[in-house]
Structure formats: C-alpha cells, structure tokens
Amino acid sequence: MLIINCPHCGPREESEFACGGEAHIARPLAENSISDAEFADYLFLRDNPKGLFLERWRHSAGCRRWFNIARDTVSHEIIEVYPMGALPRKKDALATHAASWRRDTAAEKAAERAAQKAQKPAQKPAQKPARQKAAAKKAPGKRGGK
Amino acid sequence: MADIMTGDAMLPGRSALAGRAGMNVAAPDGGKTGLRVQEVAHIGKINIRGTKSIAKVIWNHTGCDFPPANNMVSSAGARHIVWLGPDEALLLCEAGMERDLRRKISADLAGQHFAATNVTDALCVLKVEGPDVRAVLAKGCALDLHPGKFGPGQCAQTVLAHAGVTIIATDENCFLLICRTSFAPYTLDWLQDAALEFGFVFQG
C-alpha cells in the first residue's frame, strides 16, 4: 500500500485514490495532418518504464481532484507530487519528462502546432481590426472576443 | 401534491433510518456502552462551489468562513461549513431551513460564478459517540484517528468499510458521519457489527 500525499487533503491511503495512467500526453486536437498510425501512438501507446514514471492520480474518495505524481515503478517511492498542467520541479522527474519517446511523436508535435494556431487568431483582431473578418474565418470557435 | 412540489413549509419525509430499532447490544463486560449512534434526521445540507469571491455573501447568511481551512469545519451556532475541496464545501443548517437559505444565497450571488445545490435528502448524518468510538471507526478506515491528529473541528472525506463518508470530529469522543442516504442502512449495520465487543445503542 502506498501512502499518497494529496496536495489538498494530506497523506492518505492508496485505496482512496484512482490512478489515471501516464501523464503529459498532449491531445493532437483537430489536427488532421497526422496519419492514423501516428494518431494511434497518441491514443493507444503508453509507456511502461522500469524506474521513474510520471502519472496522473485522482483523490476519488476524498477531495476528488486530479494531480500528477512522479513515482519509481521499482521501489514505489513517490519523489514528487505536483499540480495538473505543470511540469515536475525535481531534476530527475524533469529529465524523465524530457526523455520520454512521446516528446518526439507526430501527435505531440501536432498538438503543439494546434496550440500555437489557436493562440494566433485571438491576438490578431486587436492588432489589425481591418483583418478581423479573415482571422475569424480561420477559427470560428474563437469568435466573439470584444 | 402541490405542497410537496412547491410549498416551503414542507413536511419532512421519512428519514433514512426511520423504523430501524431493536439493534442495541449490551457491552459484553457489563460496563458502559462503547458506541452510541443517532440519526441527525433532516438537517439541512447545501453543497457550495465557488472561490473566495463569494465569501462575504456566505458569511452574511451563515456567519461561517468560506472557504474553511483545508480539512477543517467553520462553525457559527447551528450552521457549519465543512471543507470538501479547494472550491467546494458542504453547508449544514437547521432542519427545514435549507430551501430558504439556498434561495437567499443564490439571489445574493446572482450573476456570479458559483453553485449552491440542495443535497439534504441525498446525504444522511449520523452522530456517533461513546468511549470506544475511535476504536470502532478505526476498524473500517485508514485515517489516523488519534485525538492528537484528528481533533475537534477537523473533517475528512474517506472510505469507511468501502462506503464513502465525510467524518467530522465535533468533540473528543463524538463524530458526525455523513454518508449517502442509500448507504445509511449499510453503514449502520456495519457500525453495529464493529461495535459488538464494546456495546452498541441506536437511538433512531
């Protein structure tokens, strides 16, 4: 049994938590530029390392909040608990994140491109009002900004 | 039927553990009963979601701090706010007052980002007390229940014998146990079984 240090509730027994699998998997969003095989990497393939692993966990019987954990799959030692959407701070955990095969996949790069694309049209209307219509056409979901 | 649907002075329905009697077990050593359980029937419960920005309105209506400190209960008279998460709390109020209170809070917070939900009938509150209450609860839950670690005013959401519960310490040997209404009979049966060696009394 693990004792997991919930960032909100404090140390609790493992049975109160649910493991959500590998962390830091970026969804390629509506990016159609990648192949089915490359999309399958995102959807189906999960890492199964012997050593440090970054995982998502949820305190399902407590505060019901998600968070990330850096856990050693050999010793079960939890070296860091950190919030969703953030990167770990510990050097070893950060290195694990950078070294993951997933960082080089087409799905991950497509997600990065989509995120950049989503940011651009939102800024354009403010800088160039004349081109507002064109920008809105490109990303209809982002319309409605004042 | 109209009263049931719309009336404020609604008669409370059947409580979760109404009619459960004859469960008492004498302490085997003939001494003091180790665990006494009582249903706190119909106590008002409102689930509140929101950030610090709604604190003033909540304070105006309850006199309690919102949000309470992590794993703590903020109390003022008969009203208590139980911490459930970073932006979530359970407001306990006098029986029968929850509809009115929820409506007033919602009216004062109109236009703001929050949620106030009446969950009175979804949850059942049990008052469990007695000299052996910590020993009984420890049989079914992994929390550290030592008085130094879990004292009056503290609360925790956890599992008690596989049933999700919120445990609130109100005194040295007195707790409020909040479980789902549908889990109330199971929780009561489990408490009775776990307390056989200490003696058990259920006051309906």
Residues from chain B contacting residue A16 (CB–CB below 8 Å): 142, 158-159
Task: Mark yes or no for CB contact B159/A65 under 8 Å.
Answer: no
Q: Please report whether residue A143 resides in a domain.
A: no
Task: Mark yes or no for CB contact B159/A12 under 8 Å.
Answer: no
Q: Please report whether residue B16 resides in a domain.
A: no
Q: Please report whether residue A124 resides in a domain.
A: no
Range of the domain at B194: 32-199
Nearest to B174 by CA among B37, B28, B15: B37
Q: Please report whether residue A123 resides in a domain.
A: no
Q: What size, in residues, is chain A?
A: 146
User: A54 has which bridge partners?
Assistant: A70
Q: What percent of chain B has pLDDT over 70?
A: 94
ipTM over 0.90: no
Mutation target among A2, A63, A64, A66 for the B interface, most CBs of B within 10 A:
A63
Q: Please report whether residue B7 resides in a domain.
A: no
Query: Using CB atoms and an 8 Å cut-off, which of residues 52-71 of chain B contact chain A?
Result: 70-71
Would you state the pLDDT for residue B37? 97
Q: Please report whether residue B123 resides in a domain.
A: yes
Would you state the pLDDT for residue A145? 38
Q: Please report whether residue A131 resides in a domain.
A: no
Report the run of H or E that residue B104 belongs to, with start and end: helix B98-108
Alpha-carbon radius of gyration of chain B? 18
Task: Mark yes or no for CB contact B142/A65 under 8 Å.
Answer: no
A91: which 2 tokens? Answer: 């050097």
Number of domain units in chain A:
1
> Do strands B200-203 and B35-39 pair parallel, antiparallel, or not at all (unpaired)?
parallel
Q: Please report whether residue B171 resides in a domain.
A: yes
- List all residues 6 or more positions away from A37 whose beta carbon is below 8 Å from its beta carbon: none
Examine the pLDDT at B181 and tell me if it is beyond 70.
yes
Q: What is the mean pLDDT of residues B176-189?
A: 97
Number of domain units in chain B:
1
Nearest to B49 by CA among A9, A65, A66: A65
Convert the pLDDT of each residue in B82-131 to its tens digit: 999 999 999 999 999 999 999 999 999 999 999 999 999 999 999 999 99
Convert the pLDDT of each residue in A48-100 to its tens digit: 999 999 999 999 999 999 999 999 999 999 999 999 999 999 999 999 999 99
Instruction: Say which CATH number the domain at B177 has.
Output: 3.30.1360.120
Q: Please report whether residue A20 resides in a domain.
A: yes
Q: Please report whether residue A10 resides in a domain.
A: yes
Find where tokens 């409580």 sit: B15
Cβ distance A70 to A78 under 8 Å? Answer: yes
Q: Please report whether residue B115 resides in a domain.
A: yes
Range of the domain at A64: 1-24+32-105
H-state helical runs in chain A: 36-44, 91-99, 106-127, 132-138
User: What is this structure's pTM?
Assistant: 0.84
Q: Is B68 helix (H, G, I), strand (E, B) or coil?
A: coil
Instruction: Say which CATH number the domain at A97 has.
Output: 3.30.2270.10
Q: Give, in order, the Cα–Cα distances in Å from A39 to each of A23, A43, A112, B139, B142.
A: 17, 6, 14, 48, 42
Q: Please report whether residue A112 resides in a domain.
A: no
- The dihedral over CA atoms of B75, B72, B92, B190, expressed in degrees to the nearest 10, equals -130
